[in-house]
Structure 1
Amino acid sequence: MRQLWNSIKLVMFGAVTAVVLAACGGSGGGGAATTISGVAAAGAPIIGSVTIKDSTTPTAQTKTVPIAADGKYTVDVTGLKAPYMVRADGYVGGNEYHLYSAGTSADVGGKINVTPLTDLIVSNIAGSIAKTYFDSGNFSNLTATQLTAQSDALKAKLLPVLQAVGVSSSIDLLRASFSTDHTGLDAALDVLKVTTDTTTGVATITNIITQQQMTSNITTGTYTGAITDTTGVATAATDIQLISAGFKTFSNLFATSLPSDTNPTLLALFDSATFMLEGQTLAAFLTEITTDKSMIGISFANISIQSMDANGNAVVAIDVMQNGKVVNDGPKPFHMIKKTDGKWYMQGDQYIANVNVEPVAEYRVSDTVTPIVTGLRLNIEDRGGKGITSAVVTGAGLPSTGVTIINNIAYHYFEIQGQNGGNLYSMTDTAIGAIADTEESYTIKLYIGTTLAATYTEKLKKRPYLKSELTTANFPTITSPTVAQVRAFTGGNTTVSWTLPTGLTNDWLSAQIADNAGNSAMFEASLLPTDTSKSFTLNPVTSTGQAFTITQGWLWLGAWDSYGRQLDTVIW
């Protein structure tokens, strides 16, 4: 990711070159255009890459380029044979997208956008889902006439909504220039959601404001119904811009320093009466984020609307960015409410607890028998003190009855029942093989006693690492203290130092000491991306002031990869 800006500079240079060549036409000795550019977006810019595939047989040629932060891409098609298929791979708000588009020789020097709408256009031409068309390579007969006809057919079905957000009736959905700023065509992509049933071959387009739907039989390329109800659509387009501006204000407050938890600009972003994030009240949340130095430089990007109603309720998905990297490991809902003053206020995720299912691999330095363990960390934190006693997690790779996590009150964390401590559910490569590579969902049920308190769904961005994919070189290296020093620790000041493999980013550091009677003390800290050491004091005294004699201790150092998967090094 840190090399992305260099790539973007090259992309931008290519885009400028394309414009200059196009302006020259055929006169003045200018050469022919050799690039195709466009925007890859799905309600927000796609964070990822664009791949273009040509019609060369028997083996097609491909080129892949990064998508810039504003959704734009440019690819040089020199040496590639038209017509072309285009695929955008990446994430928006933690949700994974693989969208398709297409072009012909006439599009060289011009634009080919990649959106959910272009994906449907290509599917209707192919008579199959666009992925199958791309993978097969059987698109050498694709024509500009087909593309225009299907683009116009879809536009006709969506025209009332398109015009409601200011899009001209003459727009070309495949080739029009647009910006990912929640206006024009981008606003239409905010409002219109496309889902495809790969079994039935039916795509459904939903206006998320009115819930009106239409369908497309992609096998026959025919539509049923149209999106004609524009009630509230124009207002929604403006609302989406206001919501986006609110997150921008939040980002600006943390750009270079930490604001006070009483900062009026910060407080004005939230609805204090209804706010709840992972069980926390607004006051607790603000205290935490305004004292955590890892929040400096945090920003929110690619806000996409998941739902919005006429009563002023909305759910958005966001990408949390730190130093240019996405740090959320999957889609998280964030609720918003519009009040009578016309402003939108943040309400948090509305979860009663911190609930997280994340792919994790651990290098257990002290374990000479099974030093590397991989699986799912089933993390439950009753941060709001709701009295949650247990949780059951079900999903792919887990037992059919699920995995039960219980609240170990003595040690202040939830652990897997029947396991000797911890919340990492170790999995074999066979079990991990049952998990979809991306977008696998897990259900978490929270209980207070025997009463079901809440049910949530968590989605993985990427499956856990297979054990066969890992060696100790993939993990952070703790250079000090040594295993012997950890075991000999009796309390006091200490410093932990480490190095990271290429591709990993610092996440957190935790140290815990305990006795055999359930007394313990812990140090935890979020880490800055530039940290290579952390000094702290940890004494054998509980949070209630009870002194104890240390009989056991643990040290965890966590980092994450580009998919948000944890790779932790543990010493005990």
Structure 2
Amino acid sequence: MTMRYMKPALLAASMALLLTACGSGGGDSTPDEPSGPPAASGNISGVAAAGAPLAGTVTVKDANGVTRSVPVGADGQYTVDVTGLTPPFVFRADGMVGGKRYVIHSAALQTDVGGTINITPLTDLIIANIAGDLAANFFDTPQFASLTPDALTEQTAALKARLQSVLTGLGIESTIDLLRSSFQADHTGLDAALDILRVTVDPETQVATIRNVLTQEEIQDQLTSTTDTDALPAPGDLSGVVSDLQGIEAAFRRFNALFANGLPTAEAVKGELSEDFRHEDQNRDTFAADVGSDPSNIGISFSGVTLEGPVQTSADGTFVRVGFIVKLKNGLLESVETGWRLQKVTVDGQAKWLLHGNRGRFSAEAYPLALRNEVNGTVSYHTGLEFWIEDPNTSNDHGTITYALVKGPGLPAGGVRFVPQSLGGQFCREGTLPNCGTLVELSDSAIAEVKDNSVYAFEFYTASNQAVLITDTTNAQYRTVVKRPYTNAELAQIAWPALSSASRTALGSFAGGPFSVSASFPIGFAYGIDVSYGTASGYAERLDQWTYPSSATVTEAFDFDPAPANDPVTWRMVKLDYNDAQLRNVLSIYQLQ
């Protein structure tokens, strides 16, 4: 899993450029002129969740603009000490849930010190309705005069009334307080409501949409109006929802347990996969063998599972679509996954959910890439989106694929065309062969179109321009980019991985055999080192390593075969990369020709 998700950035990012140049952590952040003395003493605790616990941080801001940040626990719980801060307070939770990035908000008064304040999409909507604006804008420039006890009570009650049919259907007590009631992220009570309710806000129109993912029914909330009263329709019998949610969660816990202390056998992995499992062009056997043989998967976990649609039953069986996040053994974020299916089966008379994969017939990835490319001492900088497409198994393509189109925010209206290098191989941006470009460079104006959680569609076509069915029901695979690429203006501020002067000197005479790379990285990230060289006859060799976490200076040894006799080395290259906290890949390339 780790190699499949992460290595494309190191293996082929920006290959079109190859050989062509011939306030967090718990401390306070204080504004320049605090306006008054602190008044609070104690903690505020709660749950930060959006259908699953949020993996990230909570920041509280007081009436003087002083901020304090704390991490969110694996169960969504947070506790922040507000001693010395001046109420009222606004809160921001920023992190990953179910394959997406969430930035959600809440608020508290003096009387809430020592108590519970939750941070969820519902509390975000409460604050937005008080502000008559996006909750994010209110946090950035709070108008504390509007944050009164009456305002919080009124807007909490108004939202609860609009959701009451769903709350009642889930058996939630009528006394529940969306802002202040304690709950556990266990798919019961208020957490079950968060599982099935989705809130999205259009920043242009300032209209929020509240959708029941089980029934697909929705209502709208105009943030600038206080007269919205329409309620979600009664959802019908929800008695099976909680048990299904807990069964889905149990499927992921069983899968995670296989990798907790070592690598499982392929047969053990297959026991958690459906008979017709398919993911990124791997079937049940190939996926089980792949993930069960990669040491970097020890300790990996699938967590933060959220529903993306209702449980559906057809002649083929009972299925559900979910999103989740993938973490490495030390808690580092590895990837976000959307569009995974699970299948409900009966084993020994008991219902059991099994992983069914994302159903894709191709391997397709999308992520932001920032590139520092140095060729013979000349440096250039590039930023944009990297698209990695492979077709390992051509037998299930529903036709011979001639090209793929990638469509989404920031790209040309007709998409970007990619063509396969060879049958069953990697796809390259059209016009970049033989070097195989996979980076689509973007201007700052195009980058501005890439919002959080932007979705990119990969469509596949035959020579007659016929779109082929790629998943079970669509002619596209989809990938989510949780954060926009770095802008061109931001490239100068990036902490680029850097090759040491000694390694740069050694690279100049490298001709195969042992080679040691020493480099500097930002601390605490998963990182990669790739070394390669080629000769006049076309012989080439490359070795790479991807590991975690990075220290300030890392050294890795590689053992190459010697270069062929009487065949001079004509180029040498080292690539260094890491993924930042928003899954943006930062890549430095050093080339000598």
Classify the TM-score, shorter chain: 0.7 to 0.9
The one-letter amino acid paired with 1:501 is F
CA offset at residue 162 of structure 1? 2.4
Which residue of structure 2 aligns with residue 317 of structure 1?
Answer: 323
CA offset at residue 245 of structure 1? 1.6
Which residue of structure 2 aligns with residue 215 of structure 1?
Answer: 220
Is this contact kept in 2: 1:47–1:91, CA < 8 A?
Answer: yes
The one-letter amino acid paired with 2:575 is W
Q: Which moved more, 1:84-93 or 1:453-462?
A: 453-462
The one-letter amino acid paired with 1:337 is Q
Which residue of structure 1 aligns with residue 10 of structure 2?
Answer: none
The alpha-carbon distance between structure 1 residues 301 and 482, as it changes in their structure 2 partners (threshold 3 A), is same
Which residue of structure 2 aligns with residue 566 of structure 1?
Answer: 585
1:101 aligns with 2:102: no
The one-letter amino acid paired with 2:340 is F
1:162 aligns with 2:167: yes
The one-letter amino acid paired with 1:89 is D
1:174 aligns with 2:176: no
Quick one: higher RCO (CA 8 Å, sep 6+), 1 or 2? 2
What is the CA–CA distance in structure 1 between the aligned matches of 2:506 and 2:549, rounded to whole Å?
26
Match of 2:403 among 373, 390, 395: 390
Which residue of structure 1 aligns with residue 359 of structure 2?
Answer: 350
Is this contact kept in 1: 2:498–2:520, CA < 8 A?
Answer: yes
CA offset at residue 512 of structure 1? 5.2
The one-letter amino acid paired with 2:303 is A
Structure 1: unaligned runs, 5 residues or longer: 11-30, 542-547
Is this contact kept in 1: 2:503–2:516, CA < 8 A?
Answer: no
Is this contact kept in 2: 1:278–1:383, CA < 8 A?
Answer: no
Please show how residues 434-453 of structure 1 align to structure 2 within 5 Å. Answer: 434-436=448-450, 438-449=452-463, 450-453=465-468
CA offset at residue 524 of structure 1? 5.1
What secondary structure is seen at the aligned counterpart in 2 of 1:45?
coil
**What percentage of residue pairs aligned between the two structures are identical?**
33
Is this contact kept in 2: 1:443–1:456, CA < 8 A?
Answer: yes
The one-letter amino acid paired with 2:210 is I
Which residue of structure 2 aligns with residue 368 of structure 1?
Answer: 377
Which residue of structure 1 aligns with residue 12 of structure 2?
Answer: none
Which residue of structure 2 aligns with residue 206 of structure 1?
Answer: 211
1:237 aligns with 2:225: no
CA offset at residue 87 of structure 1? 2.1
What secondary structure is seen at the aligned counterpart in 1 of 2:144?
coil
The alpha-carbon distance between structure 1 residues 473 and 465, as it changes in their structure 2 partners (threshold 3 A), is closer
Which residue of structure 1 aligns with residue 284 of structure 2?
Answer: 282
Query: After superposition, what is the alpha-carbon deviation per residue over 1:350-380, rounded to whole angstroms, capped at 9, x for unaligned?
Result: 1111111211223334343334433322211
Match of 1:271 among 274, 280, 283: 274
What is the Cα-based RMSD across aligned positions, in Å? Answer: 3.5
1:407 aligns with 2:420: yes
The alpha-carbon distance between structure 1 residues 517 and 175, as it changes in their structure 2 partners (threshold 3 A), is same
The alpha-carbon distance between structure 1 residues 489 and 52, as it changes in their structure 2 partners (threshold 3 A), is closer
Query: After superposition, what is the alpha-carbon deviation per residue over 1:113-168, rounded to whole angstroms, capped at 9, x for unaligned?
Result: 11111122223333333234334422324332332233233333333432443422
What is the CA–CA distance in structure 2 between the aligned matches of 1:200 and 1:441, rounded to whole Å?
20
The one-letter amino acid paired with 2:420 is N
Which residue of structure 2 aligns with residue 423 of structure 1?
Answer: 437
Which residue of structure 2 aligns with residue 302 of structure 1?
Answer: 304
Q: Which moved more, 1:421-430 or 1:309-318?
A: 421-430
Q: Which moved more, 1:189-198 or 1:383-392?
A: 383-392
What is the CA–CA distance in structure 1 between the aligned matches of 2:179 and 2:289, rounded to whole Å?
47
Please show how residues 506-521 of structure 1 align to structure 2 within 5 Å. Answer: 506-511=526-531
Is this contact kept in 2: 1:36–1:107, CA < 8 A?
Answer: yes
Which residue of structure 2 aligns with residue 24 of structure 1?
Answer: none
1:338 aligns with 2:359: no
What is the CA–CA distance in structure 1 between the aligned matches of 2:447 and 2:335, rounded to whole Å?
20
1:461 aligns with 2:482: yes
Which residue of structure 1 aligns with residue 36 of structure 2?
Answer: none
Is this contact kept in 2: 1:476–1:568, CA < 8 A?
Answer: yes
Which residue of structure 2 aligns with residue 190 of structure 1?
Answer: 195
The one-letter amino acid paired with 2:479 is E
What is the CA–CA distance in structure 1 between the aligned matches of 2:509 and 2:286, rounded to whole Å?
36
Is this contact kept in 1: 2:280–2:364, CA < 8 A?
Answer: yes
The one-letter amino acid paired with 1:319 is I
What secondary structure is seen at the aligned counterpart in 1 of 2:279?
coil
CA offset at residue 258 of structure 1? 0.9
CA offset at residue 322 of structure 1? 0.8
The one-letter amino acid paired with 2:218 is Q
Which residue of structure 2 aligns with residue 259 of structure 1?
Answer: 264
What secondary structure is seen at the aligned counterpart in 2 of 1:243?
helix
What secondary structure is seen at the aligned counterpart in 1 of 2:193?
helix
Which residue of structure 2 aligns with residue 501 of structure 1?
Answer: 521
The one-letter amino acid paired with 1:457 is Y
Is this contact kept in 1: 2:459–2:476, CA < 8 A?
Answer: yes
Is this contact kept in 2: 1:103–1:144, CA < 8 A?
Answer: no
Which residue of structure 1 aligns with residue 15 of structure 2?
Answer: none
What secondary structure is seen at the aligned counterpart in 1 of 2:404?
strand
The alpha-carbon distance between structure 1 residues 81 and 527, as it changes in their structure 2 partners (threshold 3 A), is closer
Please show how residues 484-563 of structure 1 align to structure 2 within 5 Å. Answer: 493-503=513-523, 505-511=525-531, 523=543, 525-529=545-549, 532-537=555-560, 554-563=573-582
CA offset at residue 570 of structure 1? 2.8
Query: After superposition, what is the alpha-carbon deviation per residue over 1:534-568, rounded to whole angstroms, capped at 9, x for unaligned?
Result: 53556889xxxxxx997656543432221112222
Please show how residues 51-62 of structure 1 align to structure 2 within 5 Å. Answer: 51-56=59-64, 60-62=65-67
What secondary structure is seen at the aligned counterpart in 2 of 1:131?
helix
What secondary structure is seen at the aligned counterpart in 2 of 1:224?
coil
Is this contact kept in 1: 2:443–2:488, CA < 8 A?
Answer: yes
Is this contact kept in 2: 1:375–1:432, CA < 8 A?
Answer: no
The alpha-carbon distance between structure 1 residues 215 and 428, as it changes in their structure 2 partners (threshold 3 A), is closer
Which residue of structure 2 aligns with residue 20 of structure 1?
Answer: none
Which residue of structure 1 aligns with residue 387 of structure 2?
Answer: 378
CA offset at residue 384 of structure 1? 2.5
Query: After superposition, what is the alpha-carbon deviation per residue over 1:236-262, rounded to whole angstroms, capped at 9, x for unaligned?
Result: 221111111211121121122111112
1:228 aligns with 2:234: yes
CA offset at residue 221 of structure 1? 4.3
Query: After superposition, what is the alpha-carbon deviation per residue over 1:31-66, rounded to whole angstroms, capped at 9, x for unaligned?
Result: 98522221111011112222223334xxx3333332
Q: Count residues in correspondence.
A: 534
What is the CA–CA distance in structure 1 between the aligned matches of 2:241 and 2:121, rounded to whole Å?
19
Is this contact kept in 2: 1:38–1:177, CA < 8 A?
Answer: yes
Structure 2: unaligned runs, 5 residues or longer: 1-22, 29-38, 469-474
Query: After superposition, what is the alpha-carbon deviation per residue over 1:494-525, rounded to whole angstroms, capped at 9, x for unaligned?
Result: 44433342245234444556678987665455
What secondary structure is seen at the aligned counterpart in 2 of 1:234?
coil
Query: After superposition, what is the alpha-carbon deviation per residue over 1:93-115, rounded to whole angstroms, capped at 9, x for unaligned?
Result: 23121212222222111111111
Is this contact kept in 1: 2:41–2:82, CA < 8 A?
Answer: no
CA offset at residue 431 of structure 1? 5.1
Match of 1:37 among 38, 45, 64: 45
What is the CA–CA distance in structure 1 between the aligned matches of 2:292 and 2:113, rounded to whole Å?
50
What is the CA–CA distance in structure 2 between the aligned matches of 1:32 and 1:43, rounded to whole Å?
31
Is this contact kept in 2: 1:361–1:566, CA < 8 A?
Answer: yes
The alpha-carbon distance between structure 1 residues 516 and 191, as it changes in their structure 2 partners (threshold 3 A), is farther
The one-letter amino acid paired with 1:364 is N
TM-score by length of 2: 0.80
